[in-house]
């Protein structure tokens, strides 16, 4: 359940922080001794749950191990979040007045080595941003309807590469692959010349399902832990040559960056909205009785090696997704496929309807036709160059607080 808007913490939190007591997202951190522990964030601090357990502030009967989130079922994770929320309440003296323990278990976030927040057995990337899909269709199939016939009937997706999912801050090497120019008779192999970002949201599975037992659209909340920002990097020129007839392969598998904090569905509940009407009406296994979209503000910024500060190049909103996370998971398992705790599902590129709201350089420069200018230096970009840093951020705005993901960033190198 969500923590009430009136709740205050004894830890000071700036009004524009993404991490008030109403958020309390989960992450994974590596300590100085290289051991790993679950952490929760509030303001600019992270609470080490392993040390909190050792100090007796959490029940070792309820939470015998706090090394990995995949060790806990969703009910235990919710109970853990509520317990920590209670400890951090302004009127709870238990941890507040224990200065020695406070110093030990509360660590500045900047001092932490943050990891991918869960072990990921599998990664699936959907294509649920309808404006992005329409824009791509207009670019590459100008004589056809922009959306393929199946788009409004099912959440299109493909199985990605879990092994190359990396945490925020890890540099991304420019990948090589086969490309073929329109005026060439044969392909060439070399570094991509059209490296791009893709602004996405992702969700993690807390509890999987058995093989042959689909997850009902009405039960998806019993399996989803929470959401993260995702940058599913793309080599556009490689993809253009290789994707037919089976879809993305090397153009997408070289790196997928995720933000370090899993924001729970409980924390995001105040931002649930109905979303746009799905037309035609979806089939029964994708029909939900409740809102499933989210009103989350999203931004993309770029900082070149010559710049002193990033420049925002896109502002958009997750409301532009056509398919909800519930529909994505219900469809993924509708054939009986099994999922596991830690599985990551990404939304596909999120774009608005106007220039400046698109979630990729492919769209922002319209396939390289319109260059982006960096105001500070005058540099121009059609696609990413070595030394460029891409930064995503996103949050939901309530009346008195924000619930956000922090930043997801990575720098390209050759």
Q: Rounded CA gap, 144 and 134, in Å?
A: 11
Question: How is residue 367 written in tokens?
Answer: 């396939």
- Pairwise CA distance, residues 160 & 164, whole Å: 9
- Nearest CA among 120, 107, 125 for reference residue 348: 125
27 is written with which tokens? Answer: 């992450």
Q: 165: Cβ–Cβ under 8 A, 6 or more apart, which residues? A: 116, 120, 123, 256, 257, 258, 344
Residue 153 catalytic?
Answer: no
Catalytic residue among 132, 223, 320, 331: 132
Sign of dihedral through CA atoms 102, 105, 108, 109? negative
CB 42 within 8 A of CB 14: no
Strands 26-30 and 106-108: unpaired
Q: Which of 309, 286, 289, 313 is nearest to 301 (CA)?
A: 313
Question: Are 11 and 88 a contacting pair, CB within 8 Å?
Answer: yes
Q: How far is CA 192 from CA 168, 187, 369, 373, in A?
A: 22, 13, 18, 21
DSSP 339: B
**Partners of 218 in the β-ladder:** none
Q: Cα–Cα distance between 215 and 219 in angstroms, integer?
A: 6
Of 190, 189, 241, 194, nearest in space to 385 by CA: 194
Which residue matches tokens 């939900």? Answer: 288
Strand (E) or helix (H) holding 132:
helix 130-140
Contact 148, 367 (CB under 8 A): no
Q: Please give the Cα distance from 364 to 213 (Å, whole number).
A: 42
Do 210 and 248 contact (CB within 8 A), yes or no? no
Active site residues: 132
């Amino acid at each position: 359940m969500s923590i009430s808007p009136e709740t205050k913490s004894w830890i000071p939190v700036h009004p524009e922080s993404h991490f008030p007591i109403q958020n309390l997202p989960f992450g994974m951190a590596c300590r100085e001794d290289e051991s790993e522990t679950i952490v929760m964030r509030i303001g600019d601090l992270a609470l080490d749950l392993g040390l909190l357990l050792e100090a007796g502030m959490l029940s070792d009967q309820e939470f015998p191990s706090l090394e990995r989130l995949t060790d806990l079922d969703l009910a235990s994770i919710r109970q853990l979040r509520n317990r920590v929320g209670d400890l951090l309440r302004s009127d709870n003296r238990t941890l507040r007045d224990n200065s020695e323990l406070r110093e030990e278990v509360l660590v500045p976030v900047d001092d932490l080595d943050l990891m991918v927040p869960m072990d990921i057995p599998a990664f699936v990337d959907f294509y649920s941003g309808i404006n992005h899909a329409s824009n791509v269709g207009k670019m590459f199939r100008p004589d056809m309807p922009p959306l393929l016939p199946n788009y409004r009937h099912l959440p299109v997706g493909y199985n990605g590469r879990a092994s190359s999912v990396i945490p925020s801050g890890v540099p991304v090497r420019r990948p090589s692959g086969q490309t073929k120019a329109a005026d060439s008779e044969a392909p060439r192999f070399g570094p991509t010349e059209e490296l791009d970002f893709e602004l996405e949201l992702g969700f993690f599975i807390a509890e999987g399902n058995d093989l042959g037992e689909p997850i009902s659209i009405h039960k998806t909340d019993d399996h989803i832990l929470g959401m993260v920002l995702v940058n599913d990097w793309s080599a556009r020129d490689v993809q253009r040559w290789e994707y037919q007839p089976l879809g993305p392969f090397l153009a997408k598998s070289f790196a997928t960056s995720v933000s370090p904090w899993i924001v729970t569905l409980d924390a995001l509940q105040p931002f649930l909205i109905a979303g746009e009407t799905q037309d035609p009406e979806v089939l029964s296994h994708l029909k939900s009785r409740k809102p499933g979209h989210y009103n989350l503000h999203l931004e993309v910024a770029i900082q070149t090696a010559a710049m002193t500060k990033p420049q925002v190049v896109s502002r958009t909103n997750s409301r532009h997704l056509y398919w909800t996370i519930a529909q994505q998971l219900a469809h993924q398992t509708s054939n009986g496929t099994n999922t596991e705790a830690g599985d990551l599902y990404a939304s596909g590129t999120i774009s608005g309807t106007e220039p400046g709201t698109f979630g990729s350089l492919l769209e922002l420069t319209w396939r390289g036709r319109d260059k982006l200018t960096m105001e500070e230096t005058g540099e121009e970009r059609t696609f990413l160059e070595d030394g460029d840093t891409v930064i995503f951020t996103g949050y939901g705005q309530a009346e008195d607080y924000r619930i956000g993901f922090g930043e997801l960033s990575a720098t390209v190198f050759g």
